[in-house]
Structure 1
């Protein structure tokens, strides 16, 4: 199977390089002194994928400066546009200029902008209120750097800034993330009544937003997730824009959950696991995925997103690698890990490796992020054929693995490494070597997996 590398504004040149090419809108061509933005992103597809996101975001900010900004409330957007312009023109955005020549040229440009306005007869210069926000900000940035441009972010600007800075590389995940942000942003705007500056959002607004979510019938856990999104938006804006304000969404209280988190899903009993193997026996694709999930404790997305190149079966410890690739990103760096393959999972992996071309997905039907929900729905229906307990899910297999590792007394350090859980917040976790593949393999070999007799 041949994958075609298609990303907006990126072309594969005849010399083998991946190049970003984008036409500059006519209103901005005199400013940037070019009709097209061109940059080499790399010589391999992987290099281009890594470089694309940050550079595309930079160009988006640059071109956004062509839009009119007539209101002072949009000063933050103006400042970001100026920063992008300065970077493109190789000017230092954070000072009056690196050299005497640059400072002189910037002063001349500032004079040229101000000369478009009628001067005050007493001062010989235009009054500040007569200069448009965009021109005033540009003059300030030219003469002192963008840090001198004082910008008060509004709620919508803070959310837009967060979308850019926390841009999810996967199209499907990005769409879902932005939809979630839009919903909670609109909920907050209904509380405040209008798009007010962030500094005007207070604790009462935060409590009202929380109460509105709960009154709507949202579970406390879901409401907390929504508030955490807003808290993250405010924290990033406050930090990156040097705002002298506190985050009103910090340490907001929620009703205590009636059910412990560990009870939201239950491990699958042995008879359910064996019945599921029997249920899937006639569907090789689902049986292969189930087997890998069962014997690794990995998440659905981690297995569904595997490429053939993620399988390393020739070394002393056959394993698969969970890492970002062309199909998916990872939520945290602790998810990046190697998982040994043992028993039936190794048999499945060897067969899949032989049948799949390098760098192709092992499960093309469900490989794309947007197809993961399709797998979940299909697998859930099949699981309901063998158990009606609502707390039994495919994700329960991770609970099974956690229990099995505890029973095998392999130690928490090995448990965390196998399941991709982070322990970096503790001081002791910062010392010593990482868990070796050999240790992980030995731990899995201690686990007694419930599989059909003929597989034993």
Structure 2
């Protein structure tokens, strides 16, 4: 019977997903219980794995369990193993009670943040881009220069997998028009910077490497006091709220943000909204 480490590699090869969450989960389980044949893992191993994350939030513990549950489901199906998955339906005490709400930035705060960011160093140029496109931090931090396209009428960024980072979901792959003056100026400054690197943020991105943890920690310190503990992810939350308040259709909001659509099967038909139409919607909230 195949070992967990062997199944994990096969799983990643077939699924073509961002390997980091699964890799962290598999490594921790091997530390806790050993690299066992996949049919030998039991509920006791799942509980020991969960206990090793006792200092983490319940949402983080749930995601780690789900990674392992998916890998074992894959193994049981591939090897025709008739066994209940010990990492599924695990109860986490107090789940959800430790969640903290993410307050979005107000428009006044965004204007202040963008103005300061455009006058500061290279890394902070990412903030207007995040706030005006709704992208995740890793999506913009890992942008390559070739992902920024100038068309006759639009400036467009292509969010796609590359050598330094994968994407969270299939819906994360998308093209976005950039219509905000603040985000446009930030991208222009990044493109004009003298560098041989193919990446926009050369200090944080290189072939096979993305230092998103350091960037995230830097922004946490930068935003904590003047903006009441808001994070870069608060920009993404606020972006969706702003589009919603301007009566942008849900399908368009999901397409722009790379969110999974909740609109039913029909939303997956066709190519989605055109770039000019998305640009029209984004102009409603542009800063």
TM-score tier, shorter chain, comes to 0.7 to 0.9
Higher relative contact order (CA 8 A, sep 6+): 2
TM-score, normalisation: structure 1: 0.55
Q: 1:267 to 1:175 in 2, by over 3 A?
A: closer
1:296 counterpart residue number: 133
Q: Counterparts in 2 of 1:28-177, with a 5 A limit?
A: 76=1, 153=2, 157-166=3-12
- Rounded to whole Å, the distance in 1 between the matches of 2:213 and 2:46 is 33
Q: 1:183 aligns with which of 28, 39, 43?
A: 28
2:65 counterpart residue number: 227
Q: 1:242 to 1:295 in 2, by over 3 A?
A: same
Answer whether contact 2:164 2:205 (CA < 8 A) is retained.
yes
1:443 aligns with 2:281: yes
TM-score, normalisation: structure 2: 0.83
Which residues of structure 1 form unaligned runs of 5+?
A: 1-75, 77-152, 190-194, 450-456
**1:423-445 Cα shifts (integer Å, max 9, x gaps):** 28932223344121112101110
Answer whether contact 1:231 1:247 (CA < 8 A) is retained.
yes
1:280 counterpart residue number: 117
Answer whether contact 2:137 2:212 (CA < 8 A) is retained.
yes
2:47 counterpart residue number: 208
- Rounded to whole Å, the distance in 2 between the matches of 1:383 and 1:196 is 44
Which SS does the other structure have where 1:410 is aligned? Answer: coil
**1:164-194 Cα shifts (integer Å, max 9, x gaps):** 43169x9xx86775344221233345xxxxx
Structure 1 or 2, whichever has the larger Rg, is 1
1:241 counterpart residue number: 79
2:201 counterpart residue number: 363
Q: How far has the Cα of 1:271 moved from its partner? A: 4.1
Q: 2:246 aligns with which of 402, 408, 414?
A: 408
- Rounded to whole Å, the distance in 2 between the matches of 1:317 and 1:278 is 23
Aligned residues: 281
CA RMSD of aligned residues (A): 3.1
Answer whether contact 1:276 1:386 (CA < 8 A) is retained.
no
Q: 1:417 to 1:397 in 2, by over 3 A?
A: same
- Rounded to whole Å, the distance in 1 between the matches of 2:254 and 2:46 is 36
**1:238-279 Cα shifts (integer Å, max 9, x gaps):** 12222232323223333441256xx53221234433443354
